[in-house]
Amino acid sequence: MKIIEGNTRATGKKFAVVVSRFNSFVVESLLDGALDTLERIGEVNPDDITVIRVPGAYELPIVAKKAAMSGKFHAIIALGAVIRGGTPHFEFVAGECNKGLAQVSLDATIPLAFGVLTVDTIEQAIERSGTKAGNKGVEAAHSALEMVNVLAAIDEAL
Ligand code: INI
């Protein structure tokens, strides 16, 4: 039996972190968590990490796509927070962000980690950005690290 899996050390690999400014009070905590995970768990050199800021979650897919197509990165991490309001706006922003990033992920030949909160309340956003329900930025960075290595392991094994 052959088992292919990736570890989380990715020294020498290059990462783009695409971050929305909207709801920055939670998104900055996602960014802190993602950077800490890349550097401390992944042992990624800070010089190999590029942070790209965009206005809101709606703009994440086009920039993630541009970064993915540049050929300069081994993985992309998308971070944002869409918080439901009293209008259908939430559905449009969250839906397009989710759909667009899923498409980039499938089209690109590099991993794209989804670190976008889609929540009903500010409390839920706070809980998922470094308090009692963890930190979605940390999870996304973990996923990116593992995926970079599992794709490399597949190339080596096959
Ligand atoms: N952008 C977010 O990242 N989160 C939100 O909760 C949000 N809401 O609710 O409006 C939001 N809107 C802005 C949107 O992403 C675009 O930046 C804007 O529509 C301009 O294209």
Q: pLDDT per position in the chain (158 positions), as tens?
A: 999 999 999 999 999 999 999 999 999 999 999 999 999 999 999 999 999 999 999 999 999 999 999 999 999 999 999 999 888 899 999 999 999 999 999 998 899 999 999 999 999 999 999 999 999 999 999 999 999 999 999 999 98
Closest CA to 112 of 65, 156, 80, 71: 65
**Is the whole model's pTM more than 0.95, yes or no?**
yes
Q: Which two tokens stand for residue 65?
A: 């796509």
Q: Is the CB of 118 under 6 A from ligand 1?
A: no
Cβ atoms of 50 and 112 within 8 Å: the answer is: no
CA 123 to chain centre: 21
- The enclosing H or E element of 51 equals strand 49-54
Ligand 1 atom closest to Cα of residue 90: 9
Q: Is the CB of 52 under 6 A from ligand 1?
A: no
Domains of the chain: 22-156 (3.40.50.960)
